[in-house]
Chain A
């Protein structure tokens, strides 16, 4: 019965489409299209989500890459800190002055801890501690916003030593002195060393928006600027 009805109905469909048949037809037409639209919506929302997440959340800063300022800073500042720690330990061994020995202890422990942070960044970022290009190369690259005035230093000339580092001969000299002489020489070397450290920290602040990196760099600028004043006082007392 229903068969016959349907057949005759479809023959006559030129005049009036039977509702049931029309619905079935509409379904077969729109099912794949619906799927595609749904998939598109999912993808579009993913894209929007990723973009919004990137823009709004600082914690999803992209992982720094091999040639980034962040990686260069993490490597070179570890070396820079390493020499400061070495100088502090030398003067702590060779001086009996409580103020100098306490400053040296403060500096050596604080900078060793910061070295550890930078060491761990590189591991987290999946990068080797040693770069493929010469040290300080990252500081010869352009800043993010030249008008921001973060960094007065035009950059670093490749091949020149890291700012503020003492030479091999100066380190040998430091390790040969005692008493007020080692204190004075330590203060002179460390003041120059800190000025260079501040320069490097400011250079990465001008080249990075990664909060992990900028927070530590800002802390270095604050702490080392404060220590610069203190060391100048200590040096004046010994001149």
Chain B
């Protein structure tokens, strides 16, 4: 209904009074309409532009907010160095190791032993100049110590000093071991890596990954006040 009434004046263009005067009026009307249409177009264009600007602004704002969030998360929590994620090339691991106490000597499946039956007493952690009884050292591995062994034929002098300086003060055993297949071998309970030399970077990785590990049978068990092996110097 409203449509019809409002449309009537405009739709009368083709009907009735065709005089010069009415033509001028018609022209005036056309002109007015043209102006209105032009104004409307400008208005529409402006609205469209504003809409585009608004959208762009919203996207930029959104990205900024996301960036801020990501920034906060990233800066406040640099990724932790979870020991489980430390990859060591050539690492050997051994599962289901027997941890029974025995008084006898033990034939171990790995050289040097990286877990297995062991003496009820453990070896005190420290630096040794002589070979230590494996059945005691293995017990210390069970408590979370790392045992670094070296071939005394290949590692001595300045190299040995480098190796000694690389050892943390506790939960570490360092001793010579004859019959190694490589100059240095690092062992923990259920894990071992053969190293190329005293400055092999995998030594540090291995110590960080396994020393005082919570995954041994008896984490933080004592590594002192039991057996001082021969040739302990620190």
Residues of A within 8 A of B (CB): 5-6, 8-9, 11-12, 14-16, 18, 29, 32-33, 36-37, 39-40, 43-44, 46-47, 50-51, 62-63, 65-66, 78-79, 82, 86, 89-90, 115-116, 119, 123, 125-132, 135, 168
Q: How many A-B residue pairs have CB under 8 A?
A: 117
Shortest Cβ distance from B232 into A: residue? A168
| Given A14-B40, A47-B65, A168-B126, residue A82 in contact with residue B81 (CB < 8 A) | no
Find the residue from A79, A116, A130 having the highest chain B CB count within 10 A: A130
* A9 and B37 alpha carbons, distance in the complex (Å): 15
Asked whether B33 is an interface residue with its Cβ less than 8 Å from the other chain, the reply is yes
Interchain CB contact under 8 A, B62 and A36 = yes
Contacts of A116 in B (CB 8 A): 220
Q: Say which one of B19-27, B148-156, B173-181, B210-218 lies at the interface with A.
A: B210-218
Contacts of A44 in B (CB 8 A): 65
Find the residue from B2, B80, B86 having the highest chain A CB count within 10 A: B80
Interchain CB contact under 8 A, A12 and B10 = yes
Interchain CB contact under 8 A, A115 and B220 = yes
The 6 A-B pairs at the shortest CB distance, nearest first, are namely A126-B80, A129-B212, A36-B58, A128-B83, A43-B65, A9-B3
Asked whether B7 is an interface residue with its Cβ less than 8 Å from the other chain, the reply is yes
Which of B33, B55, B209, B233 lies in contact with A32, CB distance below 8 A?
B55
Contacts of B78 in A (CB 8 A): 65-66
Contacts of A15 in B (CB 8 A): 6, 10, 36
Q: Chain B 76-103 against A: per-residue CB contact (8 Å), 1 yes, 0 no?
A: 1110111100100000000000000000
Shortest Cβ distance from B168 into A: residue? A130
Q: Say which one of B66-74, B110-118, B132-140, B190-198 lies at the interface with A.
A: B66-74
Interchain CB contact under 8 A, A123 and B214 = yes
Shortest beta-carbon distance, B54 to chain A, in Å?
6
Contacts of A36 in B (CB 8 A): 55, 58-59, 62
Which of A39, A62, A115 lies in contact with B77, CB distance below 8 A?
A62
Interchain CB contact under 8 A, A40 and B58 = yes
Asked whether B208 is an interface residue with its Cβ less than 8 Å from the other chain, the reply is yes
Interchain CB contact under 8 A, B69 and A119 = no
* A14 and B37 alpha carbons, distance in the complex (Å): 7
- Give 7 new A-B contacts, CB below 8 A, not counting A32-B55, A33-B51, A123-B214: A12-B3, A15-B10, A36-B55, A62-B77, A79-B170, A130-B208, A135-B169
* A8 and B7 alpha carbons, distance in the complex (Å): 7
Residues of B within 8 A of A (CB): 2-4, 6-7, 10-11, 33, 36-37, 40, 47, 51, 54-55, 58-59, 61-62, 65-66, 68-69, 72, 76-78, 80-83, 86, 126, 144, 168-170, 204, 207-209, 211-214, 219-220, 222, 224-225, 233-234
Judged by DSSP, the binding face of A is helix
Which of B51, B65, B76, B80 lies in contact with A40, CB distance below 8 A?
B65
28 contacts between A and B (CB under 8 A): A11-B7, A14-B33, A16-B6, A29-B47, A36-B55, A36-B62, A40-B61, A40-B65, A44-B65, A47-B65, A47-B69, A47-B72, A51-B72, A62-B76, A65-B80, A66-B78, A66-B80, A66-B81, A89-B225, A116-B220, A119-B212, A123-B214, A127-B82, A127-B83, A128-B81, A129-B211, A130-B207, A168-B233
Contacts of A126 in B (CB 8 A): 80-82
* A50 and B144 alpha carbons, distance in the complex (Å): 39
* A89 and B212 alpha carbons, distance in the complex (Å): 21
Contacts of A50 in B (CB 8 A): 69, 72
Interchain CB contact under 8 A, A9 and B209 = no
